Amino acid sequence: MVNKFLVLIIIEELGLMKTNIDKIYEKLNQRMELLNKIYHIPLKLFFTFMNILNLLLFFIPTQTMYKYSFKLFSYIGGPFNLLTKLLKSYIVLDYFEELKND
Amino acid sequence: MTSYDYLIIGSGPGGTTAAKIISEYTNSTIAVVEEGSRNSSKINMGSFEDLSKRYRYGGAEIVFGSPSTSIAEGRGLGGGSEVNSGIYHRIPNQKVENWSKNFNIENLSTESLQDDYSYIENWLKIDNSNQNSKGLSKVIKNCAIKKNLEFEECKTWNKNKSSNVKNSMSVAFYDTEPKNINLYLNTKVNKIFFDSNRLATEVECFDGKSKFNIKFKFLIIACGTFQTPLLLHRSGYKFSNNLSFGIHPHLKIGAYFKEKILGEEIVSSCQIKLPNFNASLGSSINTNSWKALFLLDSWNNYNAEFNFEKLGIFYSMIIPSGTGKLRFSKILNNYFLSFKYSEKDKKNLYDSSKLLVEMLLETEAEKIIFPNKNISTLFKSSNFQYQDFRKNFKHFSLHSVHTFSSMRIGNRNSECDSFGILNNSKNVLISDASIVPGPPGVNPQGAIMALTSRNIRKILN
Protein backbone atom coordinates (compact mmCIF):
# COMPACT_ATOMS: atom_id res chain seq x y z
CA MET A 1 0.00 0.00 0.00
CA VAL A 2 2.75 2.47 0.99
CA ASN A 3 5.49 3.34 -1.50
CA LYS A 4 9.05 2.52 -0.43
CA PHE A 5 10.12 6.07 -1.39
CA LEU A 6 7.97 7.34 1.42
CA VAL A 7 9.90 5.30 3.99
CA LEU A 8 13.17 6.66 2.60
CA ILE A 9 11.92 10.25 2.68
CA ILE A 10 10.75 10.02 6.29
CA ILE A 11 13.98 8.30 7.41
CA GLU A 12 15.92 11.07 5.65
CA GLU A 13 13.77 13.83 7.15
CA LEU A 14 14.35 12.46 10.66
CA GLY A 15 18.10 12.35 10.06
CA LEU A 16 18.34 8.59 10.63
CA MET A 17 20.67 6.15 8.88
CA LYS A 18 19.22 4.39 5.85
CA THR A 19 19.42 0.90 7.29
CA ASN A 20 16.87 -1.93 7.37
CA ILE A 21 14.68 -0.04 4.89
CA ASP A 22 13.21 -3.24 3.42
CA LYS A 23 12.22 -4.59 6.83
CA ILE A 24 10.71 -1.27 7.92
CA TYR A 25 8.83 -1.02 4.62
CA GLU A 26 7.49 -4.55 5.04
CA LYS A 27 6.41 -3.93 8.65
CA LEU A 28 4.82 -0.59 7.74
CA ASN A 29 2.62 -2.25 5.14
CA GLN A 30 1.65 -4.97 7.60
CA ARG A 31 0.71 -2.33 10.16
CA MET A 32 -1.40 -0.44 7.60
CA GLU A 33 -3.29 -3.66 6.80
CA LEU A 34 -4.22 -4.03 10.49
CA LEU A 35 -5.87 -0.61 10.78
CA ASN A 36 -9.58 -0.20 11.35
CA LYS A 37 -11.40 -0.50 8.01
CA ILE A 38 -12.74 3.04 8.30
CA TYR A 39 -9.15 4.31 8.12
CA HIS A 40 -7.68 1.53 6.01
CA ILE A 41 -10.01 2.03 3.02
CA PRO A 42 -9.53 5.84 2.71
CA LEU A 43 -5.77 5.37 3.17
CA LYS A 44 -5.66 2.78 0.40
CA LEU A 45 -7.57 5.17 -1.88
CA PHE A 46 -5.23 7.98 -0.91
CA PHE A 47 -2.06 6.03 -1.73
CA THR A 48 -3.57 4.81 -5.01
CA PHE A 49 -4.26 8.45 -5.88
CA MET A 50 -0.65 9.32 -5.02
CA ASN A 51 0.60 6.56 -7.32
CA ILE A 52 -1.60 7.83 -10.17
CA LEU A 53 -0.34 11.36 -9.54
CA ASN A 54 3.18 10.03 -9.68
CA LEU A 55 2.48 8.49 -13.10
CA LEU A 56 0.89 11.70 -14.41
CA LEU A 57 3.77 13.81 -13.11
CA PHE A 58 6.32 11.44 -14.60
CA PHE A 59 8.71 14.32 -15.29
CA ILE A 60 9.12 14.94 -11.51
CA PRO A 61 11.34 12.35 -9.75
CA THR A 62 9.19 10.11 -7.50
CA GLN A 63 11.20 10.86 -4.36
CA THR A 64 10.89 14.62 -4.92
CA MET A 65 7.15 14.36 -5.52
CA TYR A 66 6.55 12.39 -2.31
CA LYS A 67 8.85 14.64 -0.33
CA TYR A 68 7.03 17.84 -1.22
CA SER A 69 3.57 16.27 -1.04
CA PHE A 70 4.20 15.18 2.54
CA LYS A 71 5.72 18.51 3.47
CA LEU A 72 2.51 20.08 2.21
CA PHE A 73 0.37 17.63 4.22
CA SER A 74 2.29 18.40 7.41
CA TYR A 75 1.68 22.10 6.76
CA ILE A 76 -2.06 21.73 5.97
CA GLY A 77 -2.73 19.95 9.29
CA GLY A 78 -6.02 18.18 10.13
CA PRO A 79 -6.37 14.58 8.88
CA PHE A 80 -3.32 14.90 6.61
CA ASN A 81 -1.21 15.78 9.61
CA LEU A 82 -2.57 12.73 11.44
CA LEU A 83 -1.60 10.61 8.43
CA THR A 84 1.99 11.83 8.36
CA LYS A 85 2.18 11.44 12.14
CA LEU A 86 0.91 7.86 11.90
CA LEU A 87 3.43 6.94 9.21
CA LYS A 88 6.30 8.58 11.10
CA SER A 89 5.29 6.83 14.34
CA TYR A 90 5.32 3.40 12.71
CA ILE A 91 8.63 4.05 10.96
CA VAL A 92 10.33 5.32 14.13
CA LEU A 93 9.06 2.37 16.21
CA ASP A 94 10.28 -0.18 13.69
CA TYR A 95 13.54 1.63 12.93
CA PHE A 96 14.66 1.54 16.57
CA GLU A 97 13.38 -1.99 17.11
CA GLU A 98 15.39 -3.19 14.11
CA LEU A 99 18.42 -1.26 15.35
CA LYS A 100 18.21 -3.14 18.65
CA ASN A 101 17.81 -6.47 16.83
CA ASP A 102 20.92 -5.75 14.76
CA MET B 1 -26.91 -26.62 14.94
CA THR B 2 -24.68 -26.58 18.03
CA SER B 3 -26.37 -25.38 21.19
CA TYR B 4 -25.06 -24.35 24.63
CA ASP B 5 -26.53 -23.22 27.93
CA TYR B 6 -24.17 -20.22 28.05
CA LEU B 7 -22.46 -18.60 25.09
CA ILE B 8 -19.75 -16.06 25.92
CA ILE B 9 -18.48 -13.71 23.20
CA GLY B 10 -14.99 -12.51 24.07
CA SER B 11 -12.29 -14.05 26.27
CA GLY B 12 -10.99 -10.94 28.06
CA PRO B 13 -11.14 -10.45 31.85
CA GLY B 14 -14.96 -10.07 31.83
CA GLY B 15 -15.73 -13.05 29.58
CA THR B 16 -13.21 -15.33 31.26
CA THR B 17 -14.34 -14.46 34.81
CA ALA B 18 -17.89 -15.31 33.72
CA ALA B 19 -16.74 -18.60 32.13
CA LYS B 20 -14.77 -19.60 35.22
CA ILE B 21 -17.58 -18.93 37.71
CA ILE B 22 -20.26 -20.64 35.61
CA SER B 23 -18.05 -23.69 35.02
CA GLU B 24 -17.23 -23.94 38.74
CA TYR B 25 -20.74 -23.55 40.11
CA THR B 26 -22.91 -25.28 37.48
CA ASN B 27 -22.87 -28.27 35.16
CA SER B 28 -23.99 -26.13 32.24
CA THR B 29 -22.57 -26.38 28.75
CA ILE B 30 -20.45 -23.31 27.97
CA ALA B 31 -18.81 -21.97 24.82
CA VAL B 32 -16.41 -19.04 24.51
CA VAL B 33 -16.06 -17.43 21.09
CA GLU B 34 -12.87 -15.42 20.58
CA GLU B 35 -12.16 -13.36 17.48
CA GLY B 36 -8.37 -13.50 17.86
CA SER B 37 -5.87 -16.27 18.35
CA ARG B 38 -3.80 -17.72 21.20
CA ASN B 39 -0.50 -15.88 21.55
CA SER B 40 2.69 -16.57 23.44
CA SER B 41 3.00 -14.76 26.78
CA LYS B 42 6.71 -14.26 26.03
CA ILE B 43 6.21 -11.55 23.40
CA ASN B 44 8.09 -8.36 24.31
CA MET B 45 5.79 -5.57 25.43
CA GLY B 46 5.49 -2.76 22.87
CA SER B 47 7.28 -4.68 20.08
CA PHE B 48 5.98 -5.01 16.51
CA GLU B 49 4.94 -8.59 17.29
CA ASP B 50 3.08 -7.43 20.40
CA LEU B 51 1.20 -4.65 18.65
CA SER B 52 0.36 -6.65 15.54
CA LYS B 53 -0.72 -9.84 17.32
CA ARG B 54 -2.19 -8.82 20.66
CA TYR B 55 -3.79 -5.43 19.94
CA ARG B 56 -6.89 -4.56 17.97
CA TYR B 57 -6.07 -2.62 14.81
CA GLY B 58 -2.34 -3.00 15.56
CA GLY B 59 -2.69 -0.81 18.64
CA ALA B 60 -3.67 2.29 16.68
CA GLU B 61 -7.10 3.74 17.13
CA ILE B 62 -7.96 7.40 17.19
CA VAL B 63 -10.45 9.29 19.31
CA PHE B 64 -10.98 12.54 17.44
CA GLY B 65 -10.90 15.80 19.33
CA SER B 66 -8.69 18.73 20.03
CA PRO B 67 -6.21 17.16 20.50
CA SER B 68 -6.97 13.68 19.19
CA THR B 69 -6.24 10.91 21.66
CA SER B 70 -4.75 7.58 20.67
CA ILE B 71 -6.23 4.54 22.38
CA ALA B 72 -5.30 0.87 22.38
CA GLU B 73 -7.32 -2.27 23.07
CA GLY B 74 -6.22 -5.87 23.46
CA ARG B 75 -7.38 -8.59 21.04
CA GLY B 76 -6.87 -12.33 21.14
CA LEU B 77 -7.29 -15.06 23.73
CA GLY B 78 -7.26 -13.28 27.11
CA GLY B 79 -8.14 -9.90 25.54
CA GLY B 80 -6.95 -6.88 27.48
CA SER B 81 -5.38 -8.98 30.24
CA GLU B 82 -2.65 -10.07 27.81
CA VAL B 83 -1.51 -6.49 27.15
CA ASN B 84 -2.16 -5.21 30.66
CA SER B 85 0.93 -4.06 32.53
CA GLY B 86 0.20 -6.63 35.23
CA ILE B 87 -0.78 -4.36 38.11
CA TYR B 88 -3.94 -4.85 40.13
CA HIS B 89 -6.24 -2.42 41.89
CA ARG B 90 -9.53 -2.74 43.71
CA ILE B 91 -12.07 -0.03 42.83
CA PRO B 92 -11.45 2.99 45.10
CA ASN B 93 -14.17 3.06 47.79
CA GLN B 94 -15.23 6.60 46.98
CA LYS B 95 -15.77 5.66 43.33
CA VAL B 96 -18.04 2.75 44.25
CA GLU B 97 -20.15 5.06 46.45
CA ASN B 98 -20.36 7.74 43.73
CA TRP B 99 -21.32 5.24 41.02
CA SER B 100 -23.98 3.67 43.20
CA LYS B 101 -25.49 7.11 43.91
CA ASN B 102 -25.06 8.79 40.49
CA PHE B 103 -26.34 5.88 38.39
CA ASN B 104 -28.79 4.48 40.92
CA ILE B 105 -27.12 1.07 41.00
CA GLU B 106 -28.82 -1.42 43.31
CA ASN B 107 -26.80 -3.18 45.98
CA LEU B 108 -23.38 -1.88 44.97
CA SER B 109 -20.97 -1.05 47.78
CA THR B 110 -17.39 -1.85 48.71
CA GLU B 111 -18.70 -4.29 51.35
CA SER B 112 -20.91 -6.12 48.83
CA LEU B 113 -17.87 -6.61 46.56
CA GLN B 114 -15.62 -8.16 49.25
CA ASP B 115 -16.32 -11.78 48.25
CA ASP B 116 -15.75 -10.92 44.60
CA TYR B 117 -12.41 -9.26 45.33
CA SER B 118 -11.30 -12.22 47.44
CA TYR B 119 -12.27 -14.70 44.72
CA ILE B 120 -10.34 -12.81 42.02
CA GLU B 121 -7.31 -12.11 44.19
CA ASN B 122 -6.99 -15.79 45.16
CA TRP B 123 -7.44 -16.88 41.57
CA LEU B 124 -4.86 -14.47 40.15
CA LYS B 125 -2.50 -14.88 43.12
CA ILE B 126 -2.35 -11.15 43.71
CA ASP B 127 0.94 -10.36 45.40
CA ASN B 128 0.13 -8.22 48.45
CA SER B 129 3.73 -7.81 49.53
CA ASN B 130 5.38 -4.44 49.04
CA GLN B 131 6.98 -4.14 45.64
CA ASN B 132 10.66 -3.35 45.44
CA SER B 133 10.57 -0.17 43.33
CA LYS B 134 13.41 0.03 40.85
CA GLY B 135 14.37 2.12 37.83
CA LEU B 136 11.93 4.92 37.14
CA SER B 137 9.49 3.71 39.81
CA LYS B 138 12.20 4.42 42.34
CA VAL B 139 12.47 7.97 40.96
CA ILE B 140 8.70 8.36 41.36
CA LYS B 141 8.79 6.96 44.90
CA ASN B 142 11.64 9.28 45.91
CA CYS B 143 9.80 12.29 44.45
CA ALA B 144 6.68 11.40 46.46
CA ILE B 145 8.59 10.95 49.71
CA LYS B 146 10.47 14.22 49.22
CA LYS B 147 7.26 16.19 48.58
CA ASN B 148 5.27 14.28 51.18
CA LEU B 149 2.74 13.12 48.58
CA GLU B 150 0.47 10.09 48.71
CA PHE B 151 1.86 7.20 46.67
CA GLU B 152 0.93 3.61 45.98
CA GLU B 153 3.18 0.64 45.30
CA CYS B 154 0.88 -1.37 43.07
CA LYS B 155 0.04 -5.01 43.60
CA THR B 156 0.97 -7.38 40.80
CA TRP B 157 -0.50 -10.61 39.48
CA ASN B 158 2.44 -12.71 38.44
CA LYS B 159 2.15 -16.48 37.95
CA ASN B 160 4.62 -16.94 40.78
CA LYS B 161 7.00 -14.70 42.70
CA SER B 162 10.09 -15.82 40.83
CA SER B 163 8.69 -15.33 37.32
CA ASN B 164 7.75 -12.30 35.32
CA VAL B 165 4.94 -14.17 33.55
CA LYS B 166 1.68 -12.37 34.20
CA ASN B 167 -1.33 -14.32 35.37
CA SER B 168 -3.27 -13.13 32.35
CA MET B 169 -6.51 -14.87 31.40
CA SER B 170 -4.77 -17.22 28.96
CA VAL B 171 -2.22 -18.25 31.61
CA ALA B 172 -4.58 -18.35 34.61
CA PHE B 173 -7.47 -20.07 32.87
CA TYR B 174 -7.16 -21.29 29.28
CA ASP B 175 -3.69 -22.84 29.67
CA THR B 176 -5.10 -25.10 32.39
CA GLU B 177 -7.47 -26.63 29.80
CA PRO B 178 -10.72 -25.96 31.64
CA LYS B 179 -13.34 -28.67 31.42
CA ASN B 180 -16.90 -28.05 30.15
CA ILE B 181 -15.74 -25.14 28.01
CA ASN B 182 -15.72 -25.19 24.22
CA LEU B 183 -13.36 -22.59 22.89
CA TYR B 184 -13.86 -21.21 19.38
CA LEU B 185 -10.68 -19.33 18.44
CA ASN B 186 -10.29 -17.06 15.38
CA THR B 187 -14.07 -16.90 15.18
CA LYS B 188 -15.94 -13.66 14.82
CA VAL B 189 -19.58 -13.19 15.78
CA ASN B 190 -21.23 -11.22 12.99
CA LYS B 191 -24.72 -10.90 14.35
CA ILE B 192 -27.03 -11.77 17.23
CA PHE B 193 -30.60 -12.86 16.46
CA PHE B 194 -33.43 -11.81 18.76
CA ASP B 195 -36.93 -13.33 18.67
CA SER B 196 -40.23 -11.47 19.02
CA ASN B 197 -40.10 -11.87 22.83
CA ARG B 198 -36.79 -9.94 22.91
CA LEU B 199 -34.89 -13.11 23.70
CA ALA B 200 -31.52 -13.59 22.05
CA THR B 201 -31.61 -17.02 20.44
CA GLU B 202 -28.55 -17.58 18.27
CA VAL B 203 -25.49 -15.93 16.79
CA GLU B 204 -24.00 -16.02 13.33
CA CYS B 205 -20.25 -16.76 13.42
CA PHE B 206 -17.49 -16.71 10.82
CA ASP B 207 -14.26 -18.66 11.36
CA GLY B 208 -12.41 -17.32 8.32
CA LYS B 209 -13.68 -20.13 6.09
CA SER B 210 -17.40 -20.50 6.59
CA LYS B 211 -20.38 -19.05 8.38
CA PHE B 212 -22.20 -21.08 11.01
CA ASN B 213 -24.76 -20.43 13.75
CA ILE B 214 -24.64 -21.28 17.45
CA LYS B 215 -27.75 -21.48 19.65
CA PHE B 216 -27.80 -20.75 23.36
CA LYS B 217 -30.06 -20.20 26.34
CA PHE B 218 -28.11 -17.30 27.80
CA LEU B 219 -25.72 -14.91 26.08
CA ILE B 220 -22.81 -13.04 27.71
CA ILE B 221 -21.27 -10.30 25.57
CA ALA B 222 -17.73 -9.40 26.60
CA CYS B 223 -16.22 -7.90 23.47
CA GLY B 224 -14.95 -4.64 24.99
CA THR B 225 -15.97 -1.00 25.28
CA PHE B 226 -16.48 -0.40 21.56
CA GLN B 227 -16.94 -3.85 20.04
CA THR B 228 -19.87 -4.74 22.33
CA PRO B 229 -22.05 -1.78 21.22
CA LEU B 230 -20.88 -2.29 17.63
CA LEU B 231 -22.02 -5.92 17.65
CA LEU B 232 -25.40 -4.89 19.10
CA HIS B 233 -25.70 -2.13 16.49
CA ARG B 234 -24.94 -4.61 13.69
CA SER B 235 -27.58 -6.91 15.16
CA GLY B 236 -30.23 -4.20 14.85
CA TYR B 237 -30.44 -3.47 18.58
CA LYS B 238 -31.93 -0.06 19.48
CA PHE B 239 -30.04 1.72 22.26
CA SER B 240 -31.95 3.59 24.96
CA ASN B 241 -29.46 6.51 25.12
CA ASN B 242 -26.84 8.27 23.04
CA LEU B 243 -23.72 6.28 23.74
CA SER B 244 -20.77 7.81 25.53
CA PHE B 245 -17.53 6.37 26.90
CA GLY B 246 -14.71 7.20 29.27
CA ILE B 247 -10.92 7.14 29.03
CA HIS B 248 -7.95 7.85 31.29
CA PRO B 249 -5.97 10.30 29.14
CA HIS B 250 -2.33 10.70 29.94
CA LEU B 251 0.37 13.07 28.83
CA LYS B 252 3.86 11.69 28.51
CA ILE B 253 6.76 13.76 29.78
CA GLY B 254 10.41 12.96 29.09
CA ALA B 255 13.18 13.60 31.63
CA TYR B 256 16.78 13.58 30.42
CA PHE B 257 19.04 12.53 33.27
CA LYS B 258 22.74 13.18 33.86
CA GLU B 259 23.41 9.46 34.23
CA LYS B 260 21.99 6.32 32.64
CA ILE B 261 18.81 5.06 34.29
CA LEU B 262 19.44 1.82 36.11
CA GLY B 263 17.00 -1.01 36.68
CA GLU B 264 14.86 -2.77 34.13
CA GLU B 265 11.19 -1.97 34.26
CA ILE B 266 8.72 -1.63 31.43
CA VAL B 267 5.99 0.20 33.34
CA SER B 268 5.69 1.86 36.71
CA SER B 269 4.87 -0.17 39.80
CA CYS B 270 4.70 3.03 41.86
CA GLN B 271 2.13 5.78 41.33
CA ILE B 272 1.72 9.17 42.98
CA LYS B 273 -1.87 10.09 43.74
CA LEU B 274 -2.95 13.72 43.33
CA PRO B 275 -6.59 13.86 44.48
CA ASN B 276 -6.65 17.68 44.26
CA PHE B 277 -6.01 17.50 40.52
CA ASN B 278 -7.90 14.23 39.90
CA ALA B 279 -4.63 12.89 38.60
CA SER B 280 -1.88 10.36 39.15
CA LEU B 281 1.77 10.26 38.12
CA GLY B 282 3.93 7.33 37.12
CA SER B 283 6.47 6.10 34.62
CA SER B 284 5.60 4.83 31.18
CA ILE B 285 6.87 2.14 28.79
CA ASN B 286 10.60 2.77 28.46
CA THR B 287 12.05 0.79 25.59
CA ASN B 288 14.26 2.63 23.09
CA SER B 289 11.73 2.42 20.28
CA TRP B 290 9.00 3.90 22.52
CA LYS B 291 11.35 6.62 23.72
CA ALA B 292 12.02 7.48 20.07
CA LEU B 293 8.28 7.54 19.41
CA PHE B 294 7.84 9.93 22.33
CA LEU B 295 10.51 12.23 20.87
CA LEU B 296 8.77 12.42 17.51
CA ASP B 297 6.82 15.54 18.50
CA SER B 298 9.98 17.33 19.59
CA TRP B 299 12.48 15.72 17.24
CA ASN B 300 14.85 18.72 17.46
CA ASN B 301 16.03 17.14 20.75
CA TYR B 302 17.33 14.10 18.87
CA ASN B 303 20.89 14.17 17.54
CA ALA B 304 23.88 11.85 17.21
CA GLU B 305 24.87 12.46 20.86
CA PHE B 306 21.42 11.75 22.25
CA ASN B 307 21.60 8.84 24.70
CA PHE B 308 18.33 6.95 25.05
CA GLU B 309 19.58 5.30 28.23
CA LYS B 310 19.51 8.70 29.94
CA LEU B 311 15.91 9.40 28.92
CA GLY B 312 13.03 8.35 31.14
CA ILE B 313 9.39 8.64 30.10
CA PHE B 314 6.89 9.56 32.80
CA TYR B 315 3.20 10.29 32.60
CA SER B 316 0.56 12.44 34.15
CA MET B 317 -2.85 10.78 33.95
CA ILE B 318 -6.13 12.52 34.74
CA ILE B 319 -9.63 11.37 35.52
CA PRO B 320 -11.42 13.64 33.04
CA SER B 321 -14.72 15.38 33.58
CA GLY B 322 -15.19 15.51 29.80
CA THR B 323 -16.78 12.54 28.04
CA GLY B 324 -16.45 10.72 24.77
CA LYS B 325 -19.15 10.19 22.17
CA LEU B 326 -19.62 6.95 20.28
CA ARG B 327 -21.52 7.33 17.02
CA PHE B 328 -22.35 4.75 14.37
CA SER B 329 -22.07 5.17 10.62
CA LYS B 330 -24.77 3.25 8.76
CA ILE B 331 -22.85 3.43 5.49
CA LEU B 332 -19.55 2.14 6.88
CA ASN B 333 -21.29 -0.10 9.43
CA ASN B 334 -18.74 1.02 11.99
CA TYR B 335 -18.25 3.55 14.78
CA PHE B 336 -16.57 6.94 15.18
CA LEU B 337 -15.14 8.13 18.47
CA SER B 338 -14.70 11.67 19.70
CA PHE B 339 -13.75 13.19 23.06
CA LYS B 340 -14.10 16.71 24.35
CA TYR B 341 -11.75 17.85 27.11
CA SER B 342 -13.22 20.30 29.59
CA GLU B 343 -11.34 23.38 30.83
CA LYS B 344 -11.01 21.62 34.18
CA ASP B 345 -9.33 18.65 32.47
CA LYS B 346 -6.81 20.96 30.81
CA LYS B 347 -6.07 22.71 34.09
CA ASN B 348 -5.71 19.41 35.98
CA LEU B 349 -3.38 18.06 33.32
CA TYR B 350 -1.32 21.24 33.51
CA ASP B 351 -1.16 21.31 37.33
CA SER B 352 -0.21 17.65 37.63
CA SER B 353 2.37 17.90 34.81
CA LYS B 354 3.84 21.03 36.39
CA LEU B 355 4.26 19.23 39.69
CA LEU B 356 5.89 16.27 37.92
CA VAL B 357 8.26 18.60 36.04
CA GLU B 358 9.24 20.39 39.27
CA MET B 359 9.86 17.12 41.08
CA LEU B 360 11.94 15.65 38.25
CA LEU B 361 14.06 18.79 37.95
CA GLU B 362 14.67 18.64 41.69
CA THR B 363 16.08 15.12 41.27
CA GLU B 364 18.79 14.26 38.76
CA ALA B 365 16.93 15.36 35.63
CA GLU B 366 18.87 17.83 33.46
CA LYS B 367 15.99 18.85 31.26
CA ILE B 368 12.36 18.07 30.57
CA ILE B 369 11.04 17.32 27.10
CA PHE B 370 7.37 17.78 26.19
CA PRO B 371 5.74 15.96 23.28
CA ASN B 372 4.78 19.27 21.71
CA LYS B 373 6.75 21.11 19.05
CA ASN B 374 5.56 24.49 20.37
CA ILE B 375 6.66 23.98 23.97
CA SER B 376 10.38 24.37 24.41
CA THR B 377 12.55 22.10 26.53
CA LEU B 378 12.42 23.02 30.23
CA PHE B 379 15.44 23.48 32.49
CA LYS B 380 15.68 24.30 36.20
CA SER B 381 15.53 28.01 35.46
CA SER B 382 12.56 27.71 33.03
CA ASN B 383 9.11 28.98 33.79
CA PHE B 384 6.30 26.66 32.72
CA GLN B 385 3.25 28.87 32.16
CA TYR B 386 -0.40 27.77 31.94
CA GLN B 387 -1.00 30.19 29.05
CA ASP B 388 1.61 28.37 26.97
CA PHE B 389 0.18 24.98 27.90
CA ARG B 390 -3.42 26.03 27.20
CA LYS B 391 -2.54 27.72 23.89
CA ASN B 392 -0.72 24.64 22.63
CA PHE B 393 -3.01 22.04 24.20
CA LYS B 394 -4.36 20.95 20.80
CA HIS B 395 -0.83 20.06 19.64
CA PHE B 396 -0.21 17.54 22.43
CA SER B 397 -0.21 13.81 21.80
CA LEU B 398 -2.50 12.31 24.44
CA HIS B 399 -2.96 8.58 24.96
CA SER B 400 -5.20 6.22 26.86
CA VAL B 401 -4.89 2.49 27.34
CA HIS B 402 -8.07 2.33 29.41
CA THR B 403 -11.50 2.63 27.79
CA PHE B 404 -14.80 1.98 29.57
CA SER B 405 -18.42 2.99 30.34
CA SER B 406 -20.12 2.74 26.94
CA MET B 407 -22.87 0.45 28.33
CA ARG B 408 -22.74 1.29 32.02
CA ILE B 409 -24.84 -0.53 34.61
CA GLY B 410 -27.53 1.23 36.66
CA ASN B 411 -31.02 2.61 36.50
CA ARG B 412 -30.15 6.09 35.24
CA ASN B 413 -29.00 6.84 31.66
CA SER B 414 -27.83 3.26 31.43
CA GLU B 415 -27.97 0.56 28.76
CA CYS B 416 -27.99 -2.28 31.30
CA ASP B 417 -29.76 -2.80 34.60
CA SER B 418 -27.90 -2.75 37.94
CA PHE B 419 -26.53 -6.24 37.28
CA GLY B 420 -25.53 -5.92 33.64
CA ILE B 421 -28.64 -7.35 31.95
CA LEU B 422 -29.15 -5.53 28.67
CA ASN B 423 -32.17 -3.21 28.52
CA ASN B 424 -34.85 -4.49 26.10
CA SER B 425 -33.58 -8.01 26.44
CA LYS B 426 -34.00 -10.78 28.99
CA ASN B 427 -31.16 -13.21 28.46
CA VAL B 428 -28.21 -11.00 27.48
CA LEU B 429 -25.59 -9.98 30.02
CA ILE B 430 -22.90 -7.40 29.25
CA SER B 431 -19.68 -8.28 30.96
CA ASP B 432 -16.68 -6.17 29.99
CA ALA B 433 -15.17 -2.71 30.50
CA SER B 434 -18.27 -1.14 28.96
CA ILE B 435 -20.33 -1.80 32.16
CA VAL B 436 -17.89 0.04 34.45
CA PRO B 437 -20.03 3.07 35.40
CA GLY B 438 -17.29 5.71 35.34
CA PRO B 439 -13.54 6.27 35.37
CA PRO B 440 -12.10 4.16 38.21
CA GLY B 441 -8.92 6.27 38.13
CA VAL B 442 -6.83 3.10 38.26
CA ASN B 443 -6.20 0.14 35.95
CA PRO B 444 -9.80 -1.06 35.33
CA GLN B 445 -9.17 -4.82 35.08
CA GLY B 446 -9.90 -5.37 38.79
CA ALA B 447 -13.14 -3.40 38.42
CA ILE B 448 -14.24 -5.39 35.35
CA MET B 449 -13.58 -8.72 37.06
CA ALA B 450 -15.18 -7.75 40.38
CA LEU B 451 -18.35 -6.39 38.71
CA THR B 452 -18.56 -9.47 36.45
CA SER B 453 -18.20 -11.78 39.45
CA ARG B 454 -20.95 -9.85 41.28
CA ASN B 455 -23.32 -9.92 38.29
CA ILE B 456 -22.77 -13.59 37.38
CA ARG B 457 -23.37 -14.71 40.98
CA LYS B 458 -26.62 -12.75 41.02
CA ILE B 459 -27.77 -14.49 37.82
CA LEU B 460 -26.76 -17.95 39.01
CA ASN B 461 -28.60 -17.38 42.30
Q: What is the pLDDT of chain B when averaged over all its residues?
A: 91
Contact in structure between B128 and B136 (CB atoms under 8 Å): no
Average pLDDT for A63-69:
85
B185/A5 Cα distance (integer angstroms): 38
- B45, with CB counted inside 10 A (0-12, 13-18, 19+), is middle
Average pLDDT for B6-35:
96
Q: Mark yes or no for CB contact B329/A38 under 8 Å.
A: yes
Phi and psi, residue A90, nearest 5° = -60, -45
B85 or B453: which leads in pLDDT: B453
Q: Mark yes or no for CB contact A35/B288 under 8 Å.
A: no
In this predicted model, what pLDDT tens digit does every residue of B335-381 receive, in sequence order? 999 999 999 999 999 999 999 999 999 988 999 999 988 888 999 88
pLDDT score for A63: 84
Does residue B166 have a pLDDT over 90? no
- The CA-atom distances, in angstroms, between B58 and each of B44, B51, B279 are 15, 5, 28
| CB proximity B334 to A under 8 Å | yes
Largest Cα–Cα separation, chain B: 72
pLDDT band at residue B239 using 50, 70 and 90 as cut-offs: very high
CA-CA-CA-CA torsion sign (B115, B119, B122, B127): negative
Q: Mark yes or no for CB contact B60/A27 under 8 Å.
A: no
pLDDT score for B446: 95
Q: Chain B closest CA to A47's CA: distance in Å?
A: 19
Q: Mark yes or no for CB contact A86/B289 under 8 Å.
A: no
Q: Which residue from B453, B437, B440 is spatially nearest to B117, judged by alpha carbons?
A: B453
Which residues on chain A are in Cβ contact (under 8 Å) with B292? 92-93, 95-96
Average pLDDT for B61-75:
93
In this predicted model, what pLDDT tens digit does every residue of B418-440 receive, in sequence order? 999 999 888 999 999 999 999 99
Which residues on chain A are in Cβ contact (under 8 Å) with B296? 85, 88-89, 92
Which residues on chain B are in Cβ contact (under 8 Å) with A99? 288
Does residue B451 have a pLDDT over 80? yes
Q: Mark yes or no for CB contact B292/A36 under 8 Å.
A: no
Residues of A with a Cβ under 8 Å from any B Cβ are 14-15, 27, 30-31, 34-39, 82, 85-86, 88-89, 92-97, 99-100
Which residues on chain A are in Cβ contact (under 8 Å) with B61? 36
pLDDT band at residue B161 using 50, 70 and 90 as cut-offs: low
Does residue B153 have a pLDDT over 90? no
pLDDT score for B33: 98
pLDDT score for B274: 96
The alpha helices in A1-102, defined as continuous H runs, are 4-13, 21-34, 37-56, 62-76, 78-101
Q: For a pLDDT cut of 70, what percent of chain B falls above it?
A: 96
B265 or B189: which leads in pLDDT: B189
Q: Which residue from B152, B140, B165, B123 is spatially nearest to B445, judged by alpha carbons?
A: B123
Does residue A26 have a pLDDT over 90? yes
CA-CA-CA-CA torsion sign (B377, B378, B382, B385): positive
Q: For a pLDDT cut of 90, what percent of chain B falls above it?
A: 72
Contact in structure between B379 and B70 (CB atoms under 8 Å): no
- Chain B interface disruption, residue of A17, A23, A25, A92, most B CBs within 10 A: A92
Chain A, chain B: beta-carbon pairs less than 8 Å apart: 58
- Indicate the angle between helix axes A78-101 and B288-295, nearest 10 degrees: 150
- The CA-atom distances, in angstroms, between B213 and each of B76, B181, B205, B401 are 21, 18, 6, 33
Which residues on chain A are in Cβ contact (under 8 Å) with B68? 82
Q: Which of A34, A82, A89 faces B57 most closely, judged by CB atoms?
A: A34
- The domain defined by B2-56+73-124+167-244+403-460 folds into FAD/NAD(P)-binding domain (3.50.50)
pTM equals 0.93
Average pLDDT for B188-193:
97
pLDDT band at residue B167 using 50, 70 and 90 as cut-offs: confident
pLDDT score for B436: 97
Q: Which residue from B441, B139, B150 is spatially nearest to B317, judged by alpha carbons?
A: B441
Average pLDDT for B241-248:
95
Largest Cα–Cα separation, chain A: 40
Q: Mark yes or no for CB contact B292/A96 under 8 Å.
A: yes
Contact in structure between B140 and B282 (CB atoms under 8 Å): yes
Does residue B29 have a pLDDT over 90? yes
In this structure, what DSSP letter does residue A102 have? -
Which residues on chain A are in Cβ contact (under 8 Å) with B303? 15
B147 or B87: which leads in pLDDT: B147
pLDDT score for B332: 82
Q: Chain B closest CA to A46's CA: distance in Å?
A: 17
Contact in structure between A4 and A12 (CB atoms under 8 Å): no
Domain ranges, ordered by start, for chain A: 4-101
Each residue of B415-448: b (16+ CB within 10 Å) or e?
bbbbbbbbbebebbbbbbbbbbbbbbbbbbbbbb
